[in-house]
Structure 1
Amino acid sequence: MASNPEKTRTNLRPADLAREHGLSAQAVRNYERDGFLPSADRTPTGYRVYTERHARALRTFLALVRAYGHGTAGAIMNAVHDGRTDDALTAVHRGHGGLLRDRETLDAVRGAVEHLTAAAVPGDPVGPLPRTIGDLAHRLGLTPATLRTWEAAGILRPARDPATGYRVFHAADVRDAELAHLLRRGGYRLADIAAVVGQIRTAGGTSALAATLAGWRQRLDDQGLAMLKAAAQLHNYLVP
């Protein structure tokens, strides 16, 4: 049976590894320096000598970068080369857990946006009329102190009455508070809710955000597929 040339290639230069990925030879040398590739042997004149194992390590690292980001990818490869396989797999599992939480958050946001959109009927007094913190707290069945906590977390950004200095909540503020209330009851942290509300502000409202949810879902799907590819590469590197 003929041997597989990919498993027998030796005496590769940094440029040989770099060419496959459109990198510079210096980038390959830096990845070795940082422990993302195993240490290379040297020729008597000091030149690095890479093998197919280094090529597989580079493919694995770059796949991990696309799936988990540079920091996590580097930590995984460092753990592998230090013999800490458990740490490497823990980082992988943590990444999958984070993606699952993002999917659950997306589902919660989509449900909350649909709820708020359905509840926004013409003539609703929440519309253009400003409300005080007491009015809003009463509407949501919360305390003013809770709303102040949400404001400190960046979830609410009410204006101030120039004459009295009191908080004034307009329609968009009421929308943000209602969305926060829905997500809070779902167990989401204030920091996560603030991020979601910030996305709604950027999108221009719940209706505009609803149009972006498909794109959000696609990005999560793309990341999930990248994680699957990275897991396969990591397996091939660990079990050649």
Structure 2
Amino acid sequence: MRKNLKSGVRLRPVDLARGHGLSTQAIRNYEEAGILPAADRTSHGYRTYTPLHARALDAFLALVPGHGHRTAASIMKAVNEGVLDDAFRLVDESHAQLLDDRRTLWAVERALRDLAPLTEVPASGDTFIGPLAKRLGVRPATLRAWERAGLVQPRRDRQTGYRVYDAAAVRDARLAHQLRRGGYRLEQIAPLLTEVRSAGGLEPLDAALGTWRERLSARGRALLAGAAELDGYLRAADRRTGG
């Protein structure tokens, strides 16, 4: 839309809405939320917008895929209030979160590479902490420590309060045991087992890693695209104010 707009053009809410595939109510809501700069008013009280508002809307819509709606709105509000340090901090935090997520992916991939096949078939049915500890060759206190670290999630028997390990919990305990013997720390093992539980097992997780990597790459591209549009908006605002 902005390519067809010249400086000094006045836009109605419907013009701005149609150019971005939005409703006029959405435009009003964005202005009230501070995502758009305040609009001028005609003598009859009608809102009028400018190409700068179109640039602001372009920037916001480009920020949403990488940052999410709430953070994108906060970034634009900070920019429009002139608090650029707050806006840049929010941008930095999204990049930092993406880096943390990439590190988690790398840690999971590395741990999976270091895992030996689980050839032993676990016993069918539920088991308790004593038999499981004996099977793994660890102390019950070790299993309790793994539980506190989030590695293993047994349920509790309603009548006795004893820990009960189902097949998934036994699997997680065996994976934790194998990784501990491989020199991994508890905090390194926890992300892997979280992903194993989310995926429903090792094989589904292995297949899901490619999709996970693609999602992170898409977020990275979206962050770049949002930054480019935000920079364009800032430059347009500087030209308008002579900054």
Q: Which TM-score band applies after superposition, normalised by the shorter structure?
A: 0.7 to 0.9
1:54 partnered with 2:53: yes
- Asked if structure 2 preserves the Cα contact closer than 8 Å seen for 1:79 and 1:85, the reply is yes
Q: Distance in 2 between matches of 1:55 and 1:140?
A: 64
More off after superposition, 197-206 vs 59-68: 197-206
Instruction: Name structure 2 gaps, 5 residues minimum.
Output: 237-243
1:19 partnered with 2:14: no
Q: Which residue of 2 aligns with 1:38?
A: 37
Q: Check 1:231–1:6 CA distance in 2 against 1; reply closer, same or farther (3 A cut).
A: same
Which residue identity does 1:57 align to in structure 2? A
Structure 1 residues 80-99: aligned runs within 5 Å: 80-99=79-98
Q: Which residue of 1 aligns with 2:99?
A: 100
Q: Give the CA RMSD over aligned residues.
A: 2.9
Calculate the TM-score normalised by the size of structure 2: 0.80
Q: Which residue of 2 aligns with 1:227?
A: 223
Q: Check 1:140–1:71 CA distance in 2 against 1; reply closer, same or farther (3 A cut).
A: farther
Q: Check 1:139–1:222 CA distance in 2 against 1; reply closer, same or farther (3 A cut).
A: farther
Calculate the TM-score normalised by the size of structure 1: 0.81
Three-state SS of the structure 1 residue aligned to 2:5 is helix
Q: Deviations over 1:88-123 (max 9, x none)?
A: 01110110000010011011112223333x3312xx
Structure 1 residues 53-202: aligned runs within 5 Å: 53-116=52-115, 118-121=116-119, 124=120, 127-128=122-123, 132-134=128-130, 135-136=132-133, 139=137, 143-150=142-149, 155-159=151-155, 166-177=162-173, 179=175, 182=179, 185=185, 187=187, 193=191, 197=193, 199-202=195-198
Q: Distance in 2 between matches of 1:167 and 1:214?
A: 35
Q: Distance in 1 between matches of 2:82 and 2:221?
A: 27
Q: Check 1:162–1:75 CA distance in 2 against 1; reply closer, same or farther (3 A cut).
A: closer
For residue 78 of structure 1, report the CA deviation from its aligned partner: 1.0
How many residue pairs end up in the alignment?
226
Three-state SS of the structure 1 residue aligned to 2:98 is helix
Structure with larger RCO (C-alpha < 8 A, sep 6+): 2
Q: Distance in 1 between matches of 2:86 and 2:155?
A: 48
Q: Which residue of 1 aligns with 2:208?
A: 212
Three-state SS of the structure 1 residue aligned to 2:220 is helix
- Asked if structure 1 preserves the Cα contact closer than 8 Å seen for 2:7 and 2:51, the reply is yes
